[in-house]
Amino acid sequence: MTNHPVPQSPSIIGQRVPKMDAMDKATGRIEYGHDVRLPGMLVGKILYANVPHARIVSIDTSRAKKIAGVKAVLTAQDTPRIKFGFGKDNLPLKDKVLSRRDEVAAVAAVDEDAAYEALALIRVEYEPLLPVFDAFDALEPGAPRVHESRPSNLFDQYDYAHGDGARGLDTADVVVEDEFEIGWATYAALEPTTCMAQWDTQGRLTIWSPTQIPFLLQRDLSEALGISGRDVRVLQPAIGGSFGRGLDVYPIEPICALLAKAAQRPVRIIFSRDEEFLAVATRQPVKARVRSGAKRDGTLWARDFHLTLDAGPYISWGALEPLVMMEAVASLYRVPHARFVADVVYTNNLVSGAVRGYGNPQGTFFVESSMEHLARELGMDSVEFRLKNANRPNEETPQGLKITSCGLRECLMEAAERIGWGNPTSNFQLPTSKLRRGIGIAATLNVGGGARIYKSDGCGATVKVDDFGRVTLVTGSTEIGQGSETALAQITAEALGVRVEDVSVVNNDTNIKPWDVGTHASRTTFIAGKAVWIAAKKVQAQILEKAGEMLGAPVESLEMRDRMIRAKNDAAKAIAYDRVVRAMHYREGGVVLSADGWYDPPTQIVNKETWKGNISAAYGFGAQAAEVEVDLETGKVRVLKIVAAHDVGKAINPMAVEGQIEGGVTMGLGFALSEALQVQDGRILNPTLLDYRVPTALDVPKIETVIVETHDPEGPFGAKGVGEQPVNPTAAAIANAVFDAIGVRVTSLPLTGEKILRALKEQNPKTE
Amino acid sequence: MTNHPVPQSPSIIGQRVPKMDAMDKATGRIEYGHDVRLPGMLVGKILYANVPHARIVSIDTSRAKKIAGVKAVLTAQDTPRIKFGFGKDNLPLKDKVLSRRDEVAAVAAVDEDAAYEALALIRVEYEPLLPVFDAFDALEPGAPRVHESRPSNLFDQYDYAHGDGARGLDTADVVVEDEFEIGWATYAALEPTTCMAQWDTQGRLTIWSPTQIPFLLQRDLSEALGISGRDVRVLQPAIGGSFGRGLDVYPIEPICALLAKAAQRPVRIIFSRDEEFLAVATRQPVKARVRSGAKRDGTLWARDFHLTLDAGPYISWGALEPLVMMEAVASLYRVPHARFVADVVYTNNLVSGAVRGYGNPQGTFFVESSMEHLARELGMDSVEFRLKNANRPNEETPQGLKITSCGLRECLMEAAERIGWGNPTSNFQLPTSKLRRGIGIAATLNVGGGARIYKSDGCGATVKVDDFGRVTLVTGSTEIGQGSETALAQITAEALGVRVEDVSVVNNDTNIKPWDVGTHASRTTFIAGKAVWIAAKKVQAQILEKAGEMLGAPVESLEMRDRMIRAKNDAAKAIAYDRVVRAMHYREGGVVLSADGWYDPPTQIVNKETWKGNISAAYGFGAQAAEVEVDLETGKVRVLKIVAAHDVGKAINPMAVEGQIEGGVTMGLGFALSEALQVQDGRILNPTLLDYRVPTALDVPKIETVIVETHDPEGPFGAKGVGEQPVNPTAAAIANAVFDAIGVRVTSLPLTGEKILRALKEQNPKTE
């Protein structure tokens, strides 16, 4: 027999693959929480306090209970009084009001009309208490205490230092100082929050939730309800946007469960758009006092950052955001001395939480604005300054981050080159024009190999192959739109030599899927991908062994591609992989194919004393450059172009990576220019999508994405996470470009026309 | 430290456990196929030919298509012409009609009214062909051929012999001869057949079906549609009765799929009650000529059985029923010589299929009626005759069945004793009474360790344990009401020392569950139970290893009971099992618990030449005795009591075993006395539950169940299957009791008053 050379078909890894759910989303066939219907389902509605701080003197629900169709009316006295949430300071329904969004009563009724009518008939008598709306005020002695049981309004303080800490600035040649302020922003997910709860006849609860953390929800919700975690099953409908919204248990879940229990019927709560603005968490508002110093030669020398975060009345996982802000301060660029202090403070404002980037957009804005300031003070090109101090591969930062792959320099150079850095014509305007153009740049460091903020950062996977060649991947991980299920299907398909469409991904039922800590920290493709690869390789090994026997070829000579197994050096030796699978089943001592994989990265929980430790198994880097045009008459900033260059290790699905980058940039654009909740005395003044200005398609500039591949040694196929890093540097790059355009630094986000005009006027009072 | 003796808590195996779905069924919360709703779902309806044999000259659907709300109208020309089904002789929609129930067109519409209106407007022109309604006629030369492409109407012939075959009768001392006839009966499941089909945007089909054979349906339906099995996913809603109905792919499934494809919307078909009578299969009608012989001393010597089965126009898995009838003839009791011939014949009647017992109720009726006849001819007590010839443990029958455990003698003795066998007063009546009492007995042999009628008789299982101690069992097997999911949960709970309510059983999605050949042949608890045990033991071993380490006790000393792990000889060494599970997860190199199990029994496919082979890994036995009262004026038979003694190996859940026995006896009672489809020229005359007489609660006599435990060496915990055997001997026992009561043998089922009066009159023409 002649040996025929076997052509190598291209690998599935690195191919542009449309997201598996794209068609269903585009055609409206996908089932969101709103589409889940159960027989006998009731509508649940919540009554909010709408006073910022008060004792509840009495609640009269008697009239509400008489409304036809009302099946349950609950107040605090009907609910377990178990404190829940990250800060163990929240209750489903409150007996004391700590913010306007506090839930004081809830009803379940056969339809929305009856539910709203009942809400309107609940009479609550409040005894007002003095509120506190400013985090600095809240830290003053004698300030009203948000939680009476706590000694002060300071929930937690992060105090980190390396090198000489703040004293490092004493030995710097140039020091700059700034104050920054970032207010409230919201997720503005297109899908408002939903929850469905049903108790079975054995007293077990099933909850349908667009959560990002099904297993932590299982735990946290069971604790809030005072039942065993064994008796909570979490089902995840398709998720129409989350961005961190689903990282916590919020009162909606226990309220929904308690209504369902009281009514003995399934209850579904769907937030109205107002409610979505009011009752979900916000991005952590932060005020920062920042100093950075450098040596004359452009060596970054020291940083001293003091941050104050307004957590609102209940602490969420977002309270951990200083951990990430700290990474930007202590580890983005090589900096020998750093101090970082962050106070997380209770107030009677909105509840703040974790939003995509998890504090990194805020931290990066501070760091990269300060870097720009410092470069100007040094009289140094700011790209050159950044390149000189950029992180490099295989270095451990003083904070303990073990950087393996690192493409920061490449990203900076790509972004700079493609925005036209150093090209003097780009910034030229006729002196008579009221328009000024500028360019700016900013970089980011983001965890890209998980983030151990919980005891387990692991994820499990099971791969099975049926007789027909259908591959099922059961993954612990959660798809929230990031496209990781497609990447996981690609990894499975790559291992087994099948097509992506041959893989079904099962990922939405805690009864079925193995543990995963949840979708956060850009971890899914990295962590879940490793677990999938481990499971799929076990299945692969079994198939190849049998195929070798059937083909009469050594296992090492075989490759699996496009549903076939072939001897690499002999094209005549080929067999369809599903025939091999059937042959393994239909024989004496046969088997059906299934294998498990589990991956928990070799990382550390950050030490709570030193705040050091290698939290992630890999770090992603990126740089974005923006070109803007500022209208001197209106202050309006128009972004003309953004170049986004990101080190993603290996792009398993470049199309999805581009989607993440474009989505991140767009979110960063809103963060930079328009998205702000107007909050006055704890009340949101603009709770509509018309007034809360998410960028529309017309607002989004040309985004040039550059994928920098560094092939991480630990990541699956060299991949690193990319979910969050594209949102981090956008605002800083735009702010730096505005500085470049008009010579004025606006230190508060968003960069509204009003703020820019005010800054211009301060700079040159005669302009007007 | 003192060693404290540890009390042994009782094992979960052998406990009376309510079925896991009992409460949901009782409260109406369970979701049957009727409860499945999808957005945009259409109603599908089928047009039946209602002529028994005809060519279709033309079909005009033009008016039907114009009805508002009609989204698809299909005829044969719109469908793939791929023959499907066990006999590869069926089509979704027909271009030639072979029976009145033939599907000739189908519509999908937004509601039932529009669908029915459209059906009514479809005009079909038929050219009638000569039909054949009798299986003997169909075998005559020159008979109308049902399938033109086949040389004759004989689909298949089973021809089996052992010993001297029929010639064995020549050396018998006593020979009896009988003719029997059993007509059509139906499943009469409370839930009519349903089907829902939906195609996804990638061209993959999801089908919701109350099937018993999800993986074979996946294969068969994909073949019928001309697509890959990879692209068919089968979901099984809760099943409200099946009894063999769900063993085949029938036209409803491809029709539903084709309608959904044409309409590009999900389509649901729910059979009306009429349709349920017309379009599902029936029990195989059989005519039998039977001879049995014995030696003078009561040694059973030889049997010669000739059976003719009316298969109707399309061959189902029911066509394999002679395999089982043959087991009753060749292997129930020790019989040195036997011949068995069965012809499976095409006619233009109803389609016949497999019903609980799979031919065994028919075969057992023939065998046990003949045994009774023979005992009378021998002048021997028929229990004594049976005991003398009963099967014994650890024997191989001439047919090749390897009997391991065998409680036939115990069952016969229990049944006889409890019915009052040999007590002369039981049969006494005043001569003036028009009521006559009698007792009768019959036994059965049934596969109890699977039945290899397909290449694989295996089943897979996965057991996972979450951090909260919730155990999930994913089993390939299918729950059709038999209660096996509860038995499987007990086996899992036993292995892991948890409670049954801690186990969630996942068993209804081919995307998730591993292969299983399906629910048939009473195989689930045996086969799936073994697989579950294998998987659960792997998990157990992992937990015990860690627990030993945590408790400082050798693994062998540990036991798992009631959510705790204890050292047997030291009560102080105890730990909650979920704590151990968490400790395994939350550590360096941690794991989450999951393991697979697979079991395919060591059995043989019956040899197609000799019809011999050990088809099952275990055999169940049973005996039932009936006491009846016959009204000489009306012929009506009232059953006063039934004793049902069954060898089930080990009863894992005695409550469920009793349920199976009581249900089987009740079904056997209907088979014996009342259930018959009145069929004339291929038309059902009594297609309503009022006229088709399933026993009601008032018709069911006292049933005394006796569980005989023999502890099978291969079965899980010694268990054998029990799903079918209780239905097998009931009719024979009742017929034998009627014979005892009135001295007349009625050889046709059901034993209607009309038949009994006729028989009485033939016996004594002067009676009237």
Chain A residue numbers with beta carbons less than 8 Å from the beta carbon of B458 are: 585, 590, 592
Clarify whether residues A527 and A659 are in a common domain: no
Residue whose C-alpha is closest to residue A676's, from A276, A247, A188, A99: A188
Measure the CA–CA gap between B417 and A17, rounded to whole angstroms.
Answer: 73
> Cβ separation of B467 and A515 shorter than 8 Å?
yes
Domain final residue, candidates B279, B306, B324: B279
Q: Residue B766 — pLDDT band, cuts 50, 70, 90?
A: low
Residue of B nearest to A223 (CA): B468
Q: Residue A418 — pLDDT band, cuts 50, 70, 90?
A: very high
Domain of B401 in residue numbering reads as 282-451+606-763
**pLDDT above 50 (res B623):** yes
Residue B588 neighbours by CB under 8 Å, 6+ apart: none
How far A595 CA lies from chain B's nearest CA (Å)? Answer: 8
Measure the CA–CA gap between B616 and B639, rounded to whole angstroms.
Answer: 34
What residues of chain A, 288 to 347, have a C-beta less than 8 Å from chain B? Answer: none
pLDDT of residue A425: 53
Residue to mutate among A31, A225, A467, A539, with most B CBs inside 10 A, is: A467
> Cβ separation of B24 and A201 shorter than 8 Å?
yes
Residue A540 neighbours by CB under 8 Å, 6+ apart: A495, A496, A560
pLDDT of residue B426: 52
Measure the CA–CA gap between A260 and A254, rounded to whole angstroms.
Answer: 10
pLDDT of residue B401: 98
What is the residue whose two structure tokens read 């008489």? A66
Token pair for B242: 């099946």
How far A466 CA lies from chain B's nearest CA (Å)? Answer: 7
Using a CB–CB cutoff of 8 Å, tell me whether B27 touches chain A: yes
Mean pLDDT of B112-122: 98
Chain A residue numbers with beta carbons less than 8 Å from the beta carbon of B456 are: 585-586, 590
Residue whose C-alpha is closest to residue B371's, from B308, B445, B426, B435: B445
> Cβ separation of A474 and B202 shorter than 8 Å?
no
Report the percent of chain A where pLDDT is more than 90. 94
pLDDT of residue B587: 87
Identify which of A215, A468, A589 has the shortest CB distance to residue B230.
Answer: A468
Identity of residue B756 = I
Residue to mutate among A206, A515, A534, A578, with most B CBs inside 10 A, is: A515
pLDDT of residue A589: 82
Residue to mutate among B563, B600, B604, B614, with most A CBs inside 10 A, is: B600
The domain that contains B66 carries what CATH number? 3.90.1170.50
Phi, psi of A406 (to 5 degrees): -155, 115
Count of CB atoms within 10 A of residue B379's CB? Answer: 9
The domain that contains A680 carries what CATH number? 3.30.365.10
> Cβ separation of B600 and A594 shorter than 8 Å?
no
Is A466 in contact with B217 (CB distance < 8 Å)? no
Residue of A nearest to B459 (CA): A592
Measure the CA–CA gap between B94 and B251, rounded to whole angstroms.
Answer: 10
Measure the CA–CA gap between A261 and A504, rounded to whole angstroms.
Answer: 35
Residue of A nearest to B454 (CA): A586
Residue A143 forms part of a structural domain: no
Clarify whether residues A542 and A481 are in a common domain: yes
Identify which of A468, A472, A586 has the shortest CB distance to residue B219.
Answer: A468
Identify which of A201, A233, A456 has the shortest CB distance to residue B23.
Answer: A201
Chain B residue numbers with beta carbons less than 8 Å from the beta carbon of A215 are: 466-467
Residue A524 neighbours by CB under 8 Å, 6+ apart: A459, A477, A478, A482, A484, A487, A488, A721, A723
**pLDDT above 70 (res B427):** no
Using a CB–CB cutoff of 8 Å, tell me whether B579 touches chain A: no
DSSP β-ladder status, A205-208 and A232-235? parallel
pLDDT of residue B36: 92
Residue B139 forms part of a structural domain: no
Clarify whether residues A748 and A617 are in a common domain: yes
Identity of residue B572 = A
Residue B224 forms part of a structural domain: yes
Residue A5 forms part of a structural domain: no
A422-468 confidence digits (pLDDT tens) = 876 555 566 778 999 999 999 999 999 999 999 999 999 999 999 99
Report the percent of chain A where pLDDT is more than 70. 97
Using a CB–CB cutoff of 8 Å, tell me whether B180 touches chain A: no
Residue whose C-alpha is closest to residue A402's, from A713, A729, A162, A728: A713
Using a CB–CB cutoff of 8 Å, tell me whether B472 touches chain A: yes
Residue A151 forms part of a structural domain: no
pLDDT of residue A10: 55
Residue A388 forms part of a structural domain: yes
Using a CB–CB cutoff of 8 Å, tell me whether A226 touches chain B: no
pLDDT of residue A726: 98
pLDDT of residue B461: 97
Token pair for B443: 């036994």
pLDDT of residue A432: 77
CA A540 to chain centre: 33
> Cβ separation of A591 and B585 shorter than 8 Å?
no
Identify which of A472, A594, A596 has the shortest CB distance to residue B511.
Answer: A472
Mean pLDDT of A153-174: 98
Mean pLDDT of A333-361: 97
Residue B719 forms part of a structural domain: yes
Chain B residue numbers with beta carbons less than 8 Å from the beta carbon of A466 are: 215, 218, 229-230, 510, 515
Is A476 in contact with A515 (CB distance < 8 Å)? yes
Mean pLDDT for chain B?
95
Clarify whether residues B376 and B445 are in a common domain: yes
> Cβ separation of A470 and B230 shorter than 8 Å?
yes
Whole-prediction pTM: 0.95
**pLDDT above 80 (res A504):** yes
**pLDDT above 80 (res B765):** no
Identity of residue B274 = D
> Cβ separation of A462 and B458 shorter than 8 Å?
no
> Cβ separation of A29 and B200 shorter than 8 Å?
yes
Identity of residue A259 = L
Residue whose C-alpha is closest to residue B748's, from B759, B764, B737: B759
Q: So what's the ipTM on this one?
A: 0.93
Clarify whether residues B399 and B485 are in a common domain: no
Clarify whether residues B415 and B487 are in a common domain: no
> Cβ separation of A504 and B510 shorter than 8 Å?
no
Residue of B nearest to A603 (CA): B588
Name beta bridge partners: A459. A516, A599
Could you give the number of structural domains in chain B? 3
Measure the CA–CA gap between B715 and A595, rounded to whole angstroms.
Answer: 26
Clarify whether residues B590 and B616 are in a common domain: no
Residue B595 forms part of a structural domain: yes
Measure the CA–CA gap between A155 and A315, rounded to whole angstroms.
Answer: 8
What residues of chain B, 194 to 223, have a C-beta less than 8 Å from chain A? Answer: 200-202, 215, 218-219, 222
Chain A residue numbers with beta carbons less than 8 Å from the beta carbon of B465 are: none
> Cβ separation of B592 and A24 shorter than 8 Å?
no
Residue of A nearest to B21 (CA): A201
Q: Residue A588 — pLDDT band, cuts 50, 70, 90?
A: confident
Clarify whether residues B72 and B221 are in a common domain: yes
Mean pLDDT of B246-255: 97
Measure the CA–CA gap between A307 and A136, rounded to whole angstroms.
Answer: 11
Residue whose C-alpha is closest to residue B746's, from B762, B728, B730: B762
**pLDDT above 60 (res B414):** yes
B163-190 confidence digits (pLDDT tens) = 999 999 999 999 999 999 999 999 999 9
Question: How many A/B residue pairs have CB atoms within 8 Å?
Answer: 140
Residue of A nearest to B464 (CA): A514
Clarify whether residues A619 and A656 are in a common domain: yes
How far B206 CA lies from chain A's nearest CA (Å)? Answer: 12
Clarify whether residues A545 and A478 are in a common domain: yes
Measure the CA–CA gap between A526 and A717, rounded to whole angstroms.
Answer: 9
Using a CB–CB cutoff of 8 Å, tell me whether A456 touches chain B: yes
Query: Residue B604 burial (CB < 10 Å; 0-12/13-18/19+)?
Result: middle
How far A31 CA lies from chain B's nearest CA (Å)? Answer: 9
B642-656 confidence digits (pLDDT tens) = 999 999 999 999 999
Token pair for A88: 């163990």
What is the residue whose two structure tokens read 């049933």? B703
**pLDDT above 90 (res B199):** yes
Identify which of B202, B506, B595 has the shortest CB distance to residue A501.
Answer: B202
Token pair for B484: 């096996």
Give kind and range of the element (H or E) at residue B93: none
Residue A719: CA atoms inside 13 Å, Cβ hemisphere, count?
29
Q: Residue B6 — pLDDT band, cuts 50, 70, 90?
A: very low
Identity of residue B555 = V
Chain A residue numbers with beta carbons less than 8 Å from the beta carbon of B515 are: 466-467, 585, 592
Mean pLDDT for chain A?
95
Is A17 in contact with A653 (CB distance < 8 Å)? yes
How far B581 CA lies from chain A's nearest CA (Å)? Answer: 12
Clarify whether residues B614 and B560 are in a common domain: no
Clarify whether residues A471 and A439 are in a common domain: no
Output the CA–CA distances (angstroms, integers) from residue A549 to A5, A84, A593, B22, B600, in the order listed. 21, 58, 17, 49, 22
Domain final residue, candidates B553, B582, B599: B599
What residues of chain B, 136 to 155, have a C-beta less than 8 Å from chain A? Answer: none
What residues of chain A, 587 to 646, have a C-beta less than 8 Å from chain B? Answer: 589-592, 594-596, 598, 600
Residue to mutate among A468, A507, A577, with most B CBs inside 10 A, is: A468
How far B594 CA lies from chain A's nearest CA (Å)? Answer: 7
pLDDT of residue B11: 87
Mean pLDDT of A396-423: 96
B46-77 confidence digits (pLDDT tens) = 999 999 999 999 999 999 999 999 999 999 99
Residue of A nearest to B28 (CA): A39
What residues of chain A, 477 to 536, have a C-beta less than 8 Å from chain B? Answer: 501-502, 504, 506, 510-512, 514-515
Is A706 in contact with A415 (CB distance < 8 Å)? yes
What is the residue whose two structure tokens read 């006889």? B416
**pLDDT above 80 (res B614):** yes
> Cβ separation of A514 and B592 shorter than 8 Å?
yes
Q: Residue B510 — pLDDT band, cuts 50, 70, 90?
A: very high
Domain final residue, candidates A279, A301, A333: A279
